[in-house]
Structures are given as structure tokens and as C-alpha cells.
Amino acid sequence: MHDRPIIALDFPTQKEVAFFLEKFPKEEALFVKVGMELFYAEGPAIVRWLKEQGHDVFLDLKLHDIPNTVEKAMTNLAKLGVAITNVHAAGGVRMMQSAKEGLIKGTQPGAKVPELIAVTQLTSTSEEEMHHYQLINVPLETSVIHYAKCAEKAGLDGVVCSALEARGIQEATKQTFICLTPGIRPAGSAVGDQQRVVTPKHAREIGSTYIVVGRPITQAENPYEAYQEIKKDWSGK
Ligand code: C5P
């Protein structure tokens, strides 16, 4: 497991991100998540800017296209020096392999290739919707584990999953396979629109490798204090 919780920077502009980051000590190197909203507003410059300040970036763009297009896109994302990025497992094993090849091609000599993880079934998809719209007639968890195994076969490093799916995925894949889990709430905090949440400590106990935390930190009265508390509960130190 990785000590630092990943902070989801779900803000519409760089200006708002800067205002938020001012609440942390300058020397505190953070692990942050940039998603579609911020990336499509600010472009690759937002990643370069965060890296210049010493932060590690999980670029959560969930690519899903033909293998050739995904490979070329990943080469460009690797050039930005992101630490983690992702694709949809539904794009297929060939697409995931191409994504990995693209990342390798775009990584500077001597630098670490970004970790590549797959989205299995979105946590917003219900079992009923999966049956009805995707015509996948198995239990949701079976589909999640199947996609995780496909990602492993394609040479990916892990998956994004609900902490409650982590155990099953870890039993079905190799020991080093990453389970990166959002839907984290400190005990007693607001759940918001998340359905199935777990505490940082519980996520550690059930085998998450990374946790992603947004609002419990970004909306806190004192974000640095909230971050430190979550980090302590997560790392157990
Ligand atoms: O504010 P909150 O802690 O709920 O934010 C969680 C972050 O993780 C958001 O950026 C959300 O989009 C993302 N996420 C999620 N569930 C998934 C995949 C990503 O909540 N299955």
C-alpha cells in the first residue's frame, strides 16, 4: 500500500486548485488526481504545473478507443510524467496492451513508466443496468473480476475498484496487482452521492493499494488537518 492518500482535485479551474493547495505547507509533496473536468478545462499544462510543485499526479481520463488511438494518446500522457493513468477494460485486451506500449514509448529514458490501471464496471453501473444495456448476464462481481483478469493478462498494473470489491480481485489476480479505491469516508463524515463507502482504515484492512479521497479533504474547513487525519487512519502510523 502507498502511504499518501490521493487527493481528487475536483475543481473547475487551475485558479481554484491553487487556492486549495495554498492551505497545505509548501514542502508537502502530495499525490493528486486530475480528472476530466479539470484536464479538459486547463489541458496538459495543469499536469506540468502540479509536477513543478513536486506533486505526483494520477491522471484519471479513462481512455476507451481503438488500440492505435489509445497507444498514441498514452505516449503523450507519459511525456507529461504522470505517475498513474487509466483505461476502460471494456476496450479489450488488445487496447490495454497498446495503452501500455504507448506509455513505455512516451516515458523518458531512466524514468519510471506510469502505472496503468483499468476501470472494470463503473461503480455507478448497477447490476440491473449491466444486464439490460450491456447484455452481460452474470452477477456484477463476476464481470468486475473478469475485467480485472483481462487487465492482468494485458500486462496492466491493476484496477480502479470499490474497496468492497478489492478482496475478490486480489484473490483472482497476482499479489502485486493494484486496487485503487475511491468512495472513502472518514468515520462520521458526510457520504454525499457515494453509495458504498468505507473508512481509510477499513480500506487498508480489505486490501486497497491506493485510496482516492475528494470531498472529505477538499470541502473540509481545514483541508490539511483532514488530510493528515485520513493519512494517519489509512497508513496506521
Ligand atoms: O469526493 P469523493 O471522495 O467522493 O471523490 C471521489 C473521486 O473518485 C471523484 O473524483 C470521483 O469521480 C472518483 N471516482 C469515484 N468512483 C469511481 C471512480 C472514480 O468516486 N468508481
3-state SS of the chain: helix, strand, coil percent to 5? Answer: 45, 15, 40
**Residue 149 annotated to the active site:** no
Alpha carbon 75 to its chain centroid, in Å, reads 19
Quote the cell numbers at residue 225.
488537518
Among residues 197, 167, 202, 192, which one has the least CA distance to residue 182? 197
3-class DSSP assignment, residue 184: strand
* Gap from CA of 109 to ligand 1 centroid (Å): 33
pTM over 0.85: yes
Digit-by-digit pLDDT tens for the chain (237 residues) are: 899 999 999 999 999 999 999 999 999 999 999 999 999 999 999 999 999 999 999 999 999 999 999 999 999 999 999 999 999 999 999 999 999 999 999 999 999 999 999 999 998 899 999 999 999 999 999 999 999 999 999 999 999 999 889 999 999 999 999 999 999 999 888 888 777 789 999 999 999 999 999 999 999 999 999 999 999 999 998
3-class DSSP assignment, residue 151: helix
For atom 21 of ligand 1, which residue has the closest CA? 123
Among residues 188, 223, 232, which one has the least CA distance to residue 32? 223
For atom 6 of ligand 1, which residue has the closest CA? 214
Quote the cell numbers at residue 223.
483541508
99 contacts 68 by C-beta, under 8 angstroms: no
Ligand 1 atom closest to 193 (CA): 4
